[in-house]
Structure 1
Amino acid sequence: MSSRGQWFADITLARSLRYALLGQCAIAAAVLATDLLGQWPTGGASRRDLPQGPVSPGDQWREYDPATVSPSYVRRDPAPGVETPANMPSRLNFSVMETENLGSLLLVTGQISEGDAEQFQTYLDSMDEVPAGVALNSPGGVVQEALALGRAIRRMEMETAVLPGTICLSSCPYLLAGGIARRVSSAASVGMHQHYYNTPGYLPAFLAVEEIQHGQGRTMEYLIEMGVDPGVMVHSLNTPPEEIYVLLDQELSDTRLATEILD
């Protein structure tokens, strides 16, 4: 890396670490509080009322439901060739689709579960000809698995895309980051929120907080490795798990999570 590139990376990382500090403090306070109460937050926790429909600047928080195939904030129906399941699969499904502008793509649909990175590689190895790109339609899932999938995509030098009417939420943007080129339709939805890093519930609070911080550090390192501004994590750190922060086209471009916005 050139001295100028290293300087830029150092500045970006320093800024991102400052962004992350407040989020880590909030998470630490939550873990300590729940440890004192003797329980972790459950899905039954009360939720604030959030608007419906497409987002606009400053109005980007929506309810998050990983089982929802077509959330209300997605701006149009899926692109031709995208097979939308009646229910979001509990793990990733793979199929090949043809597009008019991007050619043959590997369509990846479903929640990201343990073992999906290995299945992804097995699927690619079984193909006579591997498509140049991956189209994503996922509400996210296991973070460590998403990072492994993203690295597999980069290792294969594949491009990534989020097509019109589809979603890439929670940990799915880490798959998007793996592409050597990253194209996102302005009629798609890419969103982030706080993640769980598989911290055992029996850990003392201070150890759980430490493991969460290690998880965040690994994620930031991954984004830097992929050429994405880790400052994008400020949106995940500031958004509770039951909500999703939907990124605007300008935010996707500014953080380099998208290298091209498609009409």
Structure 2
Amino acid sequence: MIAEEPSPGRFERFVLSIPDGTLMRALFLGVVGLAGWVVSLDLVEAQQAGADEARMTRTTPLPLRLPSPGDQIRPYLPRSIPVGPDRGEPRLPGYDGPVDGEAMGQPMRFLREDGGDSVVAIGRIDPGTASLLEAFLQAEGEGARTLVLHSPGGSVSDAIAMARTVREAGLDTRVPADGYCASACPLLLAGGVSRSAGENAWVGVHQVYAVEIPGLARDVDRSISDIQSTIADCQDLLVEMGVDPRLWIDAMRTPPQELYVLTPEELAEFALVTPPQAPAA
């Protein structure tokens, strides 16, 4: 007995009605489209990586407009400074060298103003910089009253230790007009007994991040734990120094490749700068 074949269903009739080769062409075009989409994602990622690498290694000043309330996110420059027609160069007492890439890309140096009471701290905060500051103050800090800052930041743990050294020494801190104090540098600024920032000073914060060390495997869980602990250390320092820890909320919201530049009003609101003190009678 020969069984009767059921009549094709609607979907089957639709498939049978498609001309030979159409499905293969559609499949081929789909594969090509998917490949193009993947390639485009790779290109975008490569462009972003290239832009980030250019920013990280840039040593020439970058023209940037001044921040204003609500428009405060700017690129973070770890080896240079922002410039513009409305910004000049910072005046650093006792220092007459370059203030841009050549200075920002170098480890932090300390210089004493001849016959004055200011110490200049210029350059990158590296692991071990805290010890250098302590040694400098012991050797040349007698009579110093103010630490003048111009730095792209760097090691958070060293910035915290330096802030405590500055407070123990009874020094004020100051970012000069048109100066740059970014990343971990505001933690050092917080150490001053009295704290100030000049006109158009660029004081900014961003997220704490782990630096990858070539040749060492990265433990993601350990990195996250270390970062959380460091954030807590930052907030502890701010409270200890009389600075509003709400400041660090803006830091935690800002990616490492960017900088949240504080307005003069925020600097005062968070007490990162303090009211001018009346001269002693």
Of residues 175, 192, 195, the one that matches 1:179 is: 192
Instruction: Give the direction of change, closer, same or farther, for the CA distance of 1:128–1:77 in structure 2 (3 Å limit).
Output: closer
Instruction: Give the direction of change, closer, same or farther, for the CA distance of 1:212–1:53 in structure 2 (3 Å limit).
Output: same
Is the aligned partner of 1:160 residue 2:165? no
Map 1:127-166 → 2, pairs under 5 A: 127=140, 129-166=142-179
Structure 1 runs (4+) deviating above 4 angstroms are: 197-201
Q: Which residue of 1 aligns with 2:123?
A: 110
Of residues 208, 230, 248, the one that matches 2:263 is: 248
Greater RCO (CA < 8 Å, at least 6 residues apart) = 1
Q: Which residue of 1 aligns with 2:75?
A: 63
**Distance in 1 between the 2:239 and 2:88 partners?**
32
SS for the counterpart of 1:44 is helix
Map 1:46-125 → 2, pairs under 5 A: 52-72=64-84, 75-79=87-91, 81=93, 83-85=96-98, 87-88=102-103, 89-97=105-113, 104-125=117-138
TM-score (norm 1): 0.73
Instruction: Give the direction of change, closer, same or farther, for the CA distance of 1:174–1:250 in structure 2 (3 Å limit).
Output: same
Give me the CA root mean square deviation.
2.9
Deviation of the 1:46 alpha carbon: 5.6
Letter of the 1:122 partner, please give it.
Answer: A
Q: Give 5+ residue unaligned stretches, structure 1.
A: 1-42
Deviation of the 1:212 alpha carbon: 1.4
- Contact kept, 8 Å, 2:177 with 2:200, in 1: the verdict is yes
SS for the counterpart of 2:131 is helix
Deviation of the 1:165 alpha carbon: 1.7
Deviation of the 1:70 alpha carbon: 4.6
Q: Which residue of 1 aligns with 2:203?
A: 190
**Distance in 1 between the 2:260 and 2:85 partners?**
11
Instruction: Give the direction of change, closer, same or farther, for the CA distance of 1:56–1:66 in structure 2 (3 Å limit).
Output: same
Instruction: Give the direction of change, closer, same or farther, for the CA distance of 1:257–1:73 in structure 2 (3 Å limit).
Output: farther
Instruction: Give the direction of change, closer, same or farther, for the CA distance of 1:53–1:113 in structure 2 (3 Å limit).
Output: same
- Contact kept, 8 Å, 2:63 with 2:82, in 1: the verdict is no
SS for the counterpart of 1:153 is helix
Q: Which residue of 1 aligns with 2:19?
A: none
**Distance in 1 between the 2:121 and 2:185 partners?**
10
**Distance in 2 between the 1:80 and 1:142 partners?**
22
Q: Which residue of 1 aligns with 2:231?
A: 216
SS for the counterpart of 1:260 is coil
What is the percent sequence identity of the aligned residues?
Answer: 32
Q: Give 5+ residue unaligned stretches, structure 2.
A: 1-47, 53-61, 277-281
TM-score (norm 2): 0.69
Deviation of the 1:78 alpha carbon: 1.7
Count of aligned pairs: 217
Higher Cα Rg: structure 1 or 2?
Answer: 2
Deviation of the 1:197 alpha carbon: 4.5
**Distance in 1 between the 2:230 and 2:76 partners?**
22
Instruction: Give the direction of change, closer, same or farther, for the CA distance of 1:204–1:113 in structure 2 (3 Å limit).
Output: closer
**Distance in 2 between the 1:197 and 1:157 partners?**
32
**Distance in 1 between the 2:226 and 2:169 partners?**
30
